Amino acid sequence: MKKHNFYAGPSILPQYTIDKSIEGIRDFAGTGLSVLEISHRSKEFIACMDNAIGLVKELLDVPSGYQVIFLGGGASLQFAMVPMNLMNSRSAYLITGEWASKAFREAKIYGEALEVASSKDKNFSYIPKNYSLPSDVDYFHITTNNTIYGTQLREDPLVPVPLVADMSSDIFSRPVDVSRYSIIYAGAQKNLAPAGVAMVIIKEDVLGKVTRPIPTMLDYRTHIKAGSMFNTPPVFTVFAAEQTLKWLKELGGVKAIEKKNIEKAQMLYDEIERNKLFKPTVGDHEDRSLMNICFIMTDEYKELEKDFLEFAKSRGIIGIAGHRSVGGFRASTYNALPAESVKALVDTMKEFEKNR
């Protein structure tokens, strides 16, 4: 039976990426060697790294003055690298979920981190608005898509201080005005590649302003200077990322995928609203994520949650259990998830409703 992969991360990748990865594992770029055993200093892999970086710049229209690097350690290491490299005295954080809170905790290790606003009062079911941002902070950190709670900030804020964004779960899902950000970072395993790498876009002129000593491996300048080859990069993950980026370009880029993402999300939110068994956890339409769609059962049918999960599983629908801090269901509708999978979930919801 066809499986529909709604996992939140690691998550579905394009079939193209999987097929090219299999080819690359057998024979990488005609070398007669596997991508799993190739030297990262080989000219073929250097070309792959350069191409991946070039595609990121092209797809997101990255302006000059910015660098793109691939680093190990996932998005979670960026929670620490950002304050280490950028914060002299104070920084500001918008607390919109668990990942934002984790980033905030790391910043506090290195200085005074301010919480400018939080949506914790309503279990992170909305994006705070109308907060005031101090003008003397070294940077302002936001999380554009809150993977666990299903909220998303789909506009690029224009702020008078350097803006840093964790885009782990919505990178490449829409066009982004990179010029508004000083740092954008994203773990690969949601919209790009298997786990093992974080992609970072950095405006070079924000670096070199802190006085603390930074360990060589944790200094962005090290990796910029070495073209992400200071130490051995996660070779296979970068290769897979290159494949996904090629796939996305072929498809028409971020504008084209955004259109598909809006259609997929609309289809599912419409059914959640229509179906008497379900309701969305995020009320405000403009805060609703296009990547992670969270919903629960209405009070009357609450006891059917387990049954629905089982029923969905029998239809090949995998990975829709909600995160333990929200409960209910979460359908992750990342770039690679085909509309047919969303349709399959909607049909399953309809069918389940019919029998009640």
Ligand X SMILES: *Cc1c(COP(=O)(O)O)cnc(C)c1O
Catalytically annotated residues = 99, 166, 190
Q: How far is 166 from 169, CA to CA, in rounded Å? A: 8
CB-nearer residue toward ligand X: 147 or 348: 147
* 3-class DSSP state of 297: strand
Evaluate the CA torsion angle 310, 311, 314, 318 in order and state its sign: negative
Report if residue 99 touches ligand X, rule: CB under 6 A: yes
Token output for 168:
């782990």
Q: How far is 323 from 295, CA to CA, in rounded Å? A: 11
DSSP result, 21-41: HHHHHH-STTSSS-TTT--TT
Report if residue 150 touches ligand X, rule: CB under 6 A: no
Which residue's beta carbon is nearest to the bound ligand X?
Answer: 74
- Count CB neighbours of 54 within 10 A: 14
Put residue 239 in one of left, alpha, beta given phi > 0 → left and psi -120 to 50 → alpha.
alpha
Selected range binding ligand X among 49-57, 69-77, 199-207, 300-308, rule: CB under 6 A: 69-77
CB-nearer residue toward ligand X: 170 or 258: 170
Report if residue 74 touches ligand X, rule: CB under 6 A: yes
Residues 172-191 binding ligand X (CB under 6 A) are: 187, 190
Residues 8-47 binding ligand X (CB under 6 A) are: 9
CB of 254 to ligand X, least distance (A): 18
Which of 42, 51, 76, 88 forms a contact with ligand X (CB under 6 A)?
A: 76
Are 143 and 289 spatial neighbours (Cβ–Cβ below 8 Å)?
A: no
CB of 323 to ligand X, least distance (A): 11
Token output for 225:
């200077």
C-alpha neighbours within 13 Å on the C-beta side of residue 305: 16
Which of 168, 191, 237, 341 forms a contact with ligand X (CB under 6 A)?
A: 168
Report if residue 75 touches ligand X, rule: CB under 6 A: yes
- Count CB neighbours of 269 within 10 A: 18
CB of 129 to ligand X, least distance (A): 20
Which of 166, 219, 271, 287 forms a contact with ligand X (CB under 6 A)?
A: 166
The conformation of residue 106, written as its DSSP 8-state character, comes to H
Q: How far is 137 from 133, CA to CA, in rounded Å? A: 8
Report if residue 147 touches ligand X, rule: CB under 6 A: yes
CB of 289 to ligand X, least distance (A): 11
CB of 292 to ligand X, least distance (A): 8
Report if residue 85 touches ligand X, rule: CB under 6 A: no
CB of 79 to ligand X, least distance (A): 8
Report if residue 169 touches ligand X, rule: CB under 6 A: yes
Are 282 and 151 spatial neighbours (Cβ–Cβ below 8 Å)?
A: yes
Binding residues for ligand X, rule: CB under 6 A, are 9, 74-76, 99, 143, 147, 166, 168-169, 187, 190
